[in-house]
Amino acid sequence: MKTLMDYTRAEDWVIAEKAFNSELLDKVEAIMSLGNGYMGLRSATEERYLKETRNLFVAGTFNKFHEDEVTELPNGADLISIEFFINGEYFTLDKGSYRDYRRELNIRTGELHRCFIWISPKGDEIDFHFYRIVSLKDIHVIAQRVEVKAINKDLDIKILSGIDGRMTNSGSQHFTDGEKRFYHKKYMQFIQSTTESNIDFVHTSTLSFFKGNMSFEPESSTIMDRRRIYSSFKVSLKAGEGMTIEKVSNVHTSRDLDNQGLSLEELQDKALKELKSAEAKGYISLAHESAKAWEETVWNSCDISISSAEAFDQLAIRFAQYHLRIMTPYHDNRMSIGAKGISGEGYKGHSFWDTEIFILPYYIFTNPKEARRLLEYRYLTLPGARRKARENNYRGAMFPWESAWLEDGEVTPVWGSADIVTGMRTKIWSGFIEQHISADIAFAVWQYYMATGDQEFMDTYGYEIIFDTAIFWTSRLEYSEEDKLYHINDVVGPDEYKEHVDDNAFTNYMAYWNIEKAMEYCDHIKANSKEVYHRLDKVLDLRGAYREWLDKKDKIYLPRAREEDGVMPQDKTYLTLEDIDLSKYKKQEQVGLMFLDYNLEQVNKLQVSKQADIMMLFFLLEGRFSMDIKKANWNYYEPRTLHDSSLSLSTHCVLASDMGDRALAYNLYKRACRIDLGENMHSSKDGIHAASIGGMWQCIVYGFGGVRMVDGHLRIEPRLPEAWRELSFTIEWRGQALRLTIDKQKLIIENLTGKEEVTFLHGGRTYRLLHKLELAMNDKK
C-alpha cells in the first residue's frame, strides 16, 4: 500500500509526510488537524486542490439543514487559504516540480509546518515555509506564518487571502450569508448564521507583511463577493530576497459561553478587539504561548513514557494524547466528543458510546475534572433521553445512540449507504434499537465515582442517571410465559453486523448490572443521604421503581456459557448461523470488504462479527467471568470478528494482555495505532477515529500497565510487551496522583500527592500505599 507518512522523527514528537500527492490529501488533513476542543481545523493546505477537504468546525454548533435530515456540525468559513500567483503562475505543487518537501505536525507544540522549494514551470525557484497553529491558550485564535524567498529570479507575487464562506457539508449549506466588513482597510470580518439553530458565527482575519523585521504595506485591493471577503496584495521580491506573511484570525459564535448576553454588534466589536491584540503579539509569540499551554496543561500532567525497541510506540501514544486534547471541549459542559473528534464530517459531529466507554477512562484516570464535565453533558441531555423513552413507549432515560445538542434527543440518521444487492439505500437501525448505550453511560458514571469518590457529583447528577437508566431497562424488558423470564428482544448489540437479535449477551448483562447498581445505590442513599433520596424519589418515583427492580432483576435472562466448550451465545441465534470461511476478509487491508460480496441482510445470517461484542462484556464486567470462559470465547469469536469497527482492536488488545499473551497484545496495539497512523492514505478521510485513539491509551494503561477498576477497586497487574524496557505514567485514584514505573523486574508506585493512603490489588494481594512501594514483577505471568 502506498504511504507518504514518515515517523522517523519520533524523538522530536513529529509525525511527517515525506512527499506530496494531491490525490492523497485526506489522511494528512485529518491526522494532522489542529484544534483546542473549541474548534477543529483540518490541515488542508493554503493553496487549493481539487480533492481537498477544508473543514473548520466549532464544537456544539449543531444545525439541521433540512427537516428530513439530522442535525450536524456545520463547516465554518475557510480562514486559512492563502493563494499565490508568482510571475503570473498559480502556485500549486501539481505544476512544475519541488524538492526538499516535508509536512510535519509537532505533537508537543501543536504546530504544523510545511516546507519545500517549488520550481515553477517557468523555472522560478521559491523557498516556502508555512507554519500554523490553533491556539490552546486563546481558544478563538488561528495563526499562520508564511516565509517566501525568491531563490534564482526576481518575482512579482500576487497574494489572495481572506474569509471564504462558500464551505458546505458535502453540499449542504448550513448558513445564511451575513454581513461582511472591512475595518481600517485591514481587518476583514464575515458573519454567517446557521439556518435552523440561528447561531451567529463571527470570523475576523487580518494579514501583515514583513521584509526582515520591518513591516510593510503592499499594494492591495479588497473584494467582497457572495459569501466571501478577501484582499489581493502585490509584492515584488528580488532574487535572494524573502518576505514573511502573517495571517491571524479568530472565530466566535453566539453559542459560546464566553459570548452569552452579547448582541451581535458587541460580539463583532469583541472579535475585532481581540484580533488586534493577537495581531500585535505576532505569530511567534502566539505559537510560543500555545506551546506553553500544551506543556503546562497536557504534557506536564499526563505524559506517558515508553522505552521501547520501536520509537513509534512512544510517538503513537503521544499522537493519541494530542488528539484526545484537541477533540475534547474542555470549555463547555453542553457538548461532548464526536466519533471523529472535530477533524472531519464523519458521523456529523455526533457522540456515541465511544465517549463513555473508550475515551472517558483516559480522563477519569488523568483529568477527573474533565471526565466529570463529559458526564455532566449526559446529565444535561436527560430530557432528550426521557423523550426518546416516551416516544418508544418506555419509561426512564433511553439515551440516544447518537447525540448532539442538548435538546436534540436521537439524531442517528435513518438511511445509510447503498446495498450492493438491492441497490437501495440501507436503513440504519442503531438509532432505534442499539440500546446498550443507556447502560454504558450508567457504567461510566459508576466508573468515575469509583475512581474519584466524587460524592457531590453523584448527589447532583450521577444517581439520577443510574436510576433513570435502570427505570428504562425495567420498562424495556419483555416477559416470556415460556421460560418465565424477562428478555430484551429486537436489539443491535455492540456487533453491528447483527441486527434485530434477541438477548444480546452484552445488552442483557449490562441492563442487569444497571438495575443491580441502581438498587444498591437506592438502598445506600435511603439509609445515608435522606435529602438526596427524597429529592430523587419526587422526580423518579424511586419507591415504585425499586419495587419493579426487585421484582424483575433476578428474572432477567442472562446467557450462560455452553457446558461442552464454554462458549457463550452472543445472542439467541448467533451460534446457529451459517459459519463460512472468512480468511479472505480477515486478511483485508481496508475495512468493510465483505460488503463488496454480501449485503447487511446476508451478513446478518452468518457467524461473522464487525467488532468486539461478548469481548466488551468481559472487558467491562471482568470480575464476573473466569479466565477460562474468556479464553474459550476469545478462541471462538475472534476468528469470526473482522474488526471492521475501529473500536474493536483496542479491546482485544487489553483482553489479550489479560490472558497473558503479550505478543498478541502488542501486535493488536500496533494494529490499533495503524487505524489512523498506518499506511492506508484514506483510512481517516472523514476524520480521525476518536474511540480508537482513546483505545490506544487503554491498550497501554489498561493492557500493558494492567491498571483497572475492578468491582470498585484499583487493580494493577502490568504485563509489558517483549520490546519494551520500561513504561511509566501517572494516574489519579481517589484524589491521589500515582506514578507507576514498570520494567521487567519491578513495579514502582509512588504516591505523588502523598496525602491519603491508596489501596490496590496486585498479584492476588491487597497493598496500601502512602508514599512509595517497589514490588518485584513475576515477568512470566
**Contact between 645 and ligand IFM per CB under 6 A:** yes
Helices (H), 659-778: 662-677, 690-697
Taking the complex as a whole, how short is the minimal distance between the CB of residue 363 and ligand IFM, in angstroms? 18
**Contact between 352 and ligand IFM per CB under 6 A:** yes
Which residue shows C-alpha cell 466524587? 454
* Start-to-end CA span in the chain (Å): 37
**Residue 456 CB burial class (10 angstroms; 0-12, 13-18, ≥19):** exposed
Taking the complex as a whole, how short is the minimal distance between the CB of residue 430 and ligand IFM, in angstroms? 8
- Please identify which of the residues 29, 370, 402, 496 carries the catalytic annotation: 496
Cβ nearer to ligand IFM, comparing 57 with 187: 57
Number of other CB atoms surrounding residue 94 within 10 Å? 12
Q: Which of 49-57, 299-307, 347-355, 473-481 is the region at the interface with ligand IFM (rule: CB under 6 A)?
A: 347-355
Cβ nearer to ligand IFM, comparing 401 with 473: 401
Taking the complex as a whole, how short is the minimal distance between the CB of residue 272 and ligand IFM, in angstroms? 39
Taking the complex as a whole, how short is the minimal distance between the CB of residue 354 and ligand IFM, in angstroms? 5
Taking the complex as a whole, how short is the minimal distance between the CB of residue 400 and ligand IFM, in angstroms? 12
Beta bridge partner(s), residue 772: 750
Site map (CB under 6 A) of ligand IFM, residues 442-481, x = contact = ----------------------------------------
Taking the complex as a whole, how short is the minimal distance between the CB of residue 646 and ligand IFM, in angstroms? 7
Q: Which of 14-22, 350-358, 376-384, 476-484 is the region at the interface with ligand IFM (rule: CB under 6 A)?
A: 350-358
Amino acid (1-letter code) at residue 420: I
Q: How far apart are CA 246 and CA 643, in angstroms?
A: 45
Give me the numbers of helices (H) and strands (E) for the chain, helices first please.
Answer: 23, 33
Cβ nearer to ligand IFM, comparing 193 with 645: 645
Residue 408 in grid coordinates? 436534540
Number of residues binding to ligand IFM, judged by CB under 6 A: 10
Beta bridge partner(s), residue 56: 41
Q: How far apart are CA 193 and CA 166, in angstroms?
A: 13
Site map (CB under 6 A) of ligand IFM, residues 488-527, x = contact = ------x-x-------------------------------
Cβ nearer to ligand IFM, comparing 347 with 457: 347
Q: Which of 64-72, 234-242, 300-308, 348-356 is the region at the interface with ligand IFM (rule: CB under 6 A)?
A: 348-356
Q: Is 496 an annotated catalytic residue?
A: yes
Residues 688-727 that bind ligand IFM (CB under 6 A): 691
Taking the complex as a whole, how short is the minimal distance between the CB of residue 367 and ligand IFM, in angstroms? 22
Which residue shows C-alpha cell 500527492? 21
**Contact between 353 and ligand IFM per CB under 6 A:** yes
Taking the complex as a whole, how short is the minimal distance between the CB of residue 482 and ligand IFM, in angstroms? 32
Number of other CB atoms surrounding residue 83 within 10 Å? 16
Helix pair 382-391, 463-476: axis angle to 10 deg:
10
Residues 362-391 that bind ligand IFM (CB under 6 A): none
Q: How far apart are CA 366 and CA 370, in angstroms?
A: 9
Contact 753, 301 (CB under 8 A): no
Cβ nearer to ligand IFM, comparing 109 with 648: 648
Q: Are strands 14-17 and 5-6 parallel, antiparallel or unpaired?
A: antiparallel
Residue 635 in grid coordinates? 478462541
Cβ nearer to ligand IFM, comparing 237 with 492: 492
Amino acid (1-letter code) at residue 41: L
Using CB under 6 A, pick the residue from 142, 339, 382, 522 that binds ligand IFM.
339
**What b/e readout covers 379-402, taking b as 16+ CB neighbours within 10 angstroms?**
bbbbebbbbbbeeeebbbbbbbbb
Cβ nearer to ligand IFM, comparing 689 with 719: 689
Cβ nearer to ligand IFM, comparing 46 with 496: 496
**Contact between 155 and ligand IFM per CB under 6 A:** no
Contact 111, 16 (CB under 8 A): no
Residue 109 in grid coordinates? 507544540
Q: How far apart are CA 75 and CA 648, in angstroms?
A: 29
Cβ nearer to ligand IFM, comparing 522 with 616: 616
423 Cβ contact list (under 8 Å, min separation 6)? none
Alpha carbon 284 to its chain's center: 29
CA distances from 680 to 19, 591, 633, 683, 691 (A): 15, 11, 31, 6, 18
**Contact between 664 and ligand IFM per CB under 6 A:** no
Using CB under 6 A, pick the residue from 647, 654, 688, 699 that binds ligand IFM.
647
Q: How far apart are CA 105 and CA 30, in angstroms?
A: 11
Helices (H), 282-359: 283-294, 300-302, 311-327, 353
Taking the complex as a whole, how short is the minimal distance between the CB of residue 552 and ligand IFM, in angstroms? 27
Taking the complex as a whole, how short is the minimal distance between the CB of residue 665 and ligand IFM, in angstroms? 21
Cβ nearer to ligand IFM, comparing 230 with 352: 352
Using CB under 6 A, pick the residue from 47, 354, 676, 717 that binds ligand IFM.
354
**Contact between 672 and ligand IFM per CB under 6 A:** no
Please give the residue ranges that form the binding site for ligand IFM (CB under 6 A).
Answer: 339, 347, 352-354, 494, 496, 645, 647, 691
- Known catalytic residues are 496
